[in-house]
Chain A
Amino acid sequence: MMKALSIFIAAFWAVVALTTTAVAQNGPLRIEITDGVIEPLPFAVPNFQPENAAAAELSQNIANVVAADLVGTGLFRQIGSDAFISQVSNFSAPIQYADWKAINAQALITGAVNVSGDGRMTVKFRVYDVFSNAELGDGLQFAGTTNGWRRMAHKVADAVYSRITGEGPYFDSRVVFVSETGPKNDRKKRLAIMDYDGQNTQFLTDSSAIVLAPRFSPTGDRVIYTSYASGFPRINVLDVASVGIRQLDMPGEMTFAPRFSQDGQSVVFSLSNGGNTDLYRMSFNGAAPTRLTSAPSIETAPSFSPDGQRIVFESDRSGSPQLYIMSANGGEAQRISFGEGRYGTPVWSPRGDLIAFTKQNKGRFHIGVMRTDGSEERLLTASFLDEGPSWSPNGRVIMFTRETQGANGAPALYSVDISGRNLKQVRTPNAASDPSWGPLQR
């Protein structure tokens, strides 16, 4: 499975398709997602055209996933095919703009799928700005294997999303998380990986030991996490392609909360000795760890800035957990959280502009964001227990854990826009926690 996927990635390519109306333009068809968008943009996706019989089912499936990706952002609204005046029976035929204007389809996405006998396929698509009577950007073609059809659909949706919003893509990405089963006092936990939309879940570990808080490497090739396989919390690295696991050889009674540096060459983590927890950094080349903090307080939950120069982390040196920023080499730290309540699990946005965090205040938990200097704090969610935010690759969506209360309480994955809109559950086969949203796939 993993091997097939890597072949697919290697074979993945895109070409600019021929076009007669290729007027690249950034006309009126535009969503500024930082604005207070209230009315989702209506679009139509007629079923993609099967260019041969073998492509019939995939044509429909791909159009459905493209639509689901766009609708799932909360920024788009799909117009159902029963409203269509025109049908698109030929990918190359001229668009009858009047027919799409009449049903108020501001964007129209057309496509065609070809499946060859050797399990390979191509997907072509075009995006139209209906009210400008023009194509939006050039048509594109993706090639790959049929078992990677979902990825190709996500690629199409990413292109549409990026062209209309001006934001970076994020649909063609994966999430590593902890899958949970069993009663609350004896939870079985396994690392699992899935597509961003909850599809294609695969387990990476068995349930023999507690596993916690995985994090993707910057390129998505490895996952680092805390495992109790030895009876004590220790840091493991897992190679995603081979699913091979190795425990990092580190000093200290307990080590946990590992995060990759931006270059993937080192790990920053918490080490607990004699009841005191501090942050350390260790290179994967075998050198001894460097101590980054030396305080009698708890220092944990580190996160690198995208340029790798700074680390935001959680510390209770002031008496309650708060957020601090220091150099990636350690040294003096600046406190950035000053609101009411306790702050934890800070995660630096991939865009560098914001820090997402967990806030605990008056018996409720929140996911929030603030600027890196602590200003403009905004709480995005509120519940009995929300924690552990993770950023989408484009820094516009946050996935996190929401746990329900009581003896039968269980965690699930949720996502929310940085605006606080579009809160929704990400469906997983079992209860799930600790999502880490990986990079855009290549």
Chain B
Amino acid sequence: MNKMTKVALLIAALGVSACTNGDRFGTNGSATGIDNSAGAFGNGANTGITDPALNPTSPQYFSQTVGDRVLFEVDQSTLTAAGQTTLDGQAQWLLTNSDYLAVIEGHADEQGTREYNIALGSRRANSVREYLVSKGVPSSRIRVVSFGKERPAEICSQESCYAKNRRAVTVISIGTLS
């Protein structure tokens, strides 16, 4: 996981390069990516595009614009209409950016026992996987994991936080699924 995250961050830093040279996959390998990066940043500044989140192929764009997470009702793993809309965007993005792999992290709020919540997070992550696969994303590019209630996004003990913690987050990276 840590390795994947690092790879994702590295790619994120190089996103400007991908944007300006028009070659989406020019920097997809981490080794070549490092070699290209210095020049790429210069080009990016010249075109005035400096925010990697504006690059539709960047992980930032995925997490901020497409939306990296869907939320669930209490005890539920059924996708909401809003969740399906988000996942339509995720599927489209993953189909376009076919070098990326996805790990879907299922989570639960703290209102449940530890082990049951791991199983509940597993259900939620799998709902997302099944939806993405139904939209054409190869299942070989997706893995699921559940963190139960171990990694809340919000830490208050109110429904306003719980609603954001009952989630499945799609974490993308370039690399191989171990």
Please count the residue pairs between chain A and chain B whose beta carbons lie under 8 angstroms apart in the complex: 115
A344 engages B116 (CB within 8 Å)? yes
Known: A272-B146, A405-B157, A406-B156. A277 touches B119 (CB 8 A): yes
Asked if B123 is at the interface (CB within 8 A of a chain A CB), the reply is yes
Query: Is there a chain A Cβ closer than 8 Å to B31's Cβ?
Result: no
- Chain A CB within 8 A of B11 CB: no
Is the CB of A254 closer than 8 A to any CB of chain B? yes
Query: B5's closest neighbor in chain A, by CB?
Result: A231
A275 touches B115 (CB 8 A): no
Residues in B whose Cβ lies below 8 Å from that of A191? none
Stretch at the interface among B18-26, B48-56, B147-155: B147-155
Cβ of B122 under 8 Å from chain A? yes
Specify which chain A residues have a CB less than 8 angstroms from the CB of B111 in the assembled complex. 360, 363
Q: Which B residues lie at the A interface, using CB under 8 A?
A: 1-2, 4, 75, 77, 103, 110-116, 118-120, 122-127, 129-130, 143-147, 150-157, 178
Residue of A nearest to B153 (CB): A185
Q: How far is the CA of A434 from the CA of B148 in the complex (A)?
A: 15
Q: How far is the CA of A204 from the CA of B119 in the complex (A)?
A: 26
**Could you say which of A39-47, A167-175, A381-389 contacts chain B?**
A381-389
- Is A409 interfacial (CB 8 A cutoff)? yes
Chain B residues with CB below 8 A from A384, complex form: 157
**A387-B113 contact given A184-B155, A275-B123, CB 8 Å threshold:** yes
Q: Which residues of the partner chain B approach A263 to less than 8 Å between Cβ atoms?
A: none
- Closest-by-CB residue of A relative to B129 is A275
- Shortest Cβ gap from A359 to chain B (Å): 10
Query: Nearest Cβ distance between residue B138 and chain A, in whole angstroms?
Result: 16
Q: Are A213 and B115 in contact (CB under 8 A)?
A: yes
Q: Is the CB of A388 within 8 A of B118?
A: no
Structural contact, A231 and B145, CB atoms closer than 8 A: yes
Determine if A152 is an interface residue (Cβ-Cβ < 8 Å).
Answer: no
Question: What 1/0 flags go to A411-438 for Cβ under 8 Å of B?
Answer: 0000000000000000000000010000
Question: What are 27 of the A-B contact pairs (CB < 8 Å)?
Answer: A184-B152, A185-B151, A187-B150, A210-B150, A213-B114, A226-B118, A231-B2, A232-B145, A253-B143, A254-B118, A254-B145, A254-B146, A257-B118, A270-B118, A270-B119, A277-B122, A277-B123, A298-B116, A300-B116, A314-B115, A314-B116, A344-B116, A384-B157, A385-B110, A388-B114, A406-B157, A407-B155
